[in-house]
A and B are shown apart, each in its own frame.
Chain A
């Protein structure tokens, strides 16, 4: 009994995304597809403990869901008389009778999964809704799991999901993989969802909540799936390269009491060499495809520079500064410039970094951000101007929201005067 339940849970983890994707292709509605998949799961929970787990559990779930779909559509069709609905439903019925899950080629399953990713990340949906729906339908996460991962209430997440599915249904968003120019236009929104999910987990403090750590792994998994499904897109490889290398530092990012440890102070022996190798390989794939690296690819290349240095002192800052320069050109932002200033300071001396900071000092986006005075303080200290550095650290301490960081900044200011 317990054995069968464990098997069902595992099979569901493995099959649910493909199931929902296959069903969505037939009924052209991800919300309905999810309901049908859930129905099949309920049926499995009834049957498998009694009759044993079938040889091909995925196909069993699909066949069951298909039958439920046909029942449900017939029932609803007899109740509702709106012509349009009937036309749509008979269309769906027709599509279902033609399709045969077991005969579906690998390529088709891949296409369905990719269509599901693109639908979940549709630009019609707000960013949080996209992330929640993707984790739900692609990752098979439950509503409480998503809520815990994003520190939101269950009812908020549940509502978000319901609204997202409703929006897609009402807009009649076709269930398909966009092609050509539209693909290029919509891909960033997909990549952003994977990136946001990863960062949500990455930003959490170490070991406190395994759900959030698991979120990093889930985002990695989604990114890797995407790289298999869309192998010709350099930014897909760029993104997964970036995530693999960032994930390699998970065990080194926090001290025993959960305090954050900055990249250059991390114990590099704790970096995961397997993930670094995987990240580098993904970066290489991105580089080998035609065209220059995109924003994710460049960030991955920067991360790879850090990963390559066995000790922090061996970091190739000249190369990192050049990569930030390229990033600033294709994706200009004061935050990128701030990082570029750090790199310039490390590569060519503090004056070079300070000069760039002067250029961006009045950027609106940096107003009230503690990073600007904090970086400036660091560069001033290195330039042998301790009084000015102390003033900057104090200003940064006033601006930060994080108590621990505030304390560190004040300590630094004090040692200087």
Chain B
């Protein structure tokens, strides 16, 4: 089974991303990623640019509105993710708790597999997008 680990750095936008002087932090994170890779668990990972480099699309009654933000609270924004393969939820949570960050929140979520969907939806998917 697969789990997505969303990392919320809980920092202000001005403190976002690689800063001078925190080489050690980055090295520690690199080692952690390496551990995941060596354990055969890591499927993919990415770090995300600050929210100002993206935007928000809000859907209301099927209509899209695009804004640059503002984000309710910079601290509630995802900073990056890991996609891992784990043998249980417990194992995924244990890996998340080994993250070397000083302060952050990591949300661990199980990924849907095709088999988790009702047959009706699987069939519709196949009919429309298959072959």
Contacts of B40 in A (CB 8 A): 220-225, 228
Q: Considering the chains assembled together, what is the distance between the CA atoms of A357 and B38 in angstroms?
A: 45
Point out the residue from A7, A218, A256 that lies within 8 Å of B123, measured CB to CB: A256
User: A9 contacts the other chain (Cβ, under 8 Å)?
Assistant: yes
Point out the residue from A13, A206, A223, A251 that lies within 8 Å of B87, measured CB to CB: A13
Contacts of B123 in A (CB 8 A): 256
Instruction: Name the distance in Å between B101's Cβ and chain A's nearest Cβ.
Output: 16
A-B pair number, CB within 8 angstroms: 72
User: B62 contacts the other chain (Cβ, under 8 Å)?
Assistant: no
Q: Which of B8-16, B50-58, B66-74, B113-121 interfaces with chain A?
A: B113-121
Interface residue count for A (Cβ, 8 Å)? Answer: 30
B94 and A270 contacting across the interface, CB-CB below 8 Å: no
Contacts of A207 in B (CB 8 A): 115
User: A383 contacts the other chain (Cβ, under 8 Å)?
Assistant: no
| Interface residues as binary, A209-225 with B (CB distance below 8 Å gives 1, 0 otherwise) | 00000100110111111
Point out the residue from B1, B38, B94, B114 that lies within 8 Å of A251, measured CB to CB: B114
B122 and A11 contacting across the interface, CB-CB below 8 Å: no
Instruction: Name the distance in Å between B110's Cβ and chain A's nearest Cβ.
Output: 14
Which residue of B has the minimal Cβ distance to A8? B90
Residues 281-319 of A at the B interface (beta carbon under 8 Å)? 311
A10 and B91 contacting across the interface, CB-CB below 8 Å: yes
Instruction: Name the distance in Å between B97's Cβ and chain A's nearest Cβ.
Output: 9
Which residue of A has the minimal Cβ distance to B127? A267
User: A6 contacts the other chain (Cβ, under 8 Å)?
Assistant: yes
User: B95 contacts the other chain (Cβ, under 8 Å)?
Assistant: yes
| Interface residues as binary, A22-63 with B (CB distance below 8 Å gives 1, 0 otherwise) | 000000000000000000000000000000000000000000
Residue among A7, A220, A224, A229 with most chain B CB within 10 A: A224
A274 and B44 contacting across the interface, CB-CB below 8 Å: yes
B38 and A10 contacting across the interface, CB-CB below 8 Å: no
Point out the residue from A217, A223, A228, A269 that lies within 8 Å of B38, measured CB to CB: A228
User: B46 contacts the other chain (Cβ, under 8 Å)?
Assistant: no
A-B contact pairs, 7 of them (CB 8 A): A7-B90, A14-B91, A220-B40, A251-B113, A269-B126, A274-B83, A311-B131
- Measuring CB to CB, which residues of chain B are less than 8 angstroms from any residue of chain A? 1, 37-41, 43-44, 83, 85, 87-88, 90-91, 93-95, 113-115, 119, 122-123, 125-126, 129-131
- Measuring CB to CB, which residues of chain A are less than 8 angstroms from any residue of chain B? 6-7, 9-11, 13-14, 110, 206-207, 214, 217-218, 220-225, 228-229, 251, 256, 267-270, 274, 278, 311
Extra 14 A-B pairs, beta carbons < 8 Å, given A9-B88, A220-B85: A6-B90, A9-B91, A13-B88, A14-B91, A206-B115, A207-B115, A221-B39, A256-B122, A269-B125, A269-B126, A270-B114, A270-B126, A274-B43, A278-B43
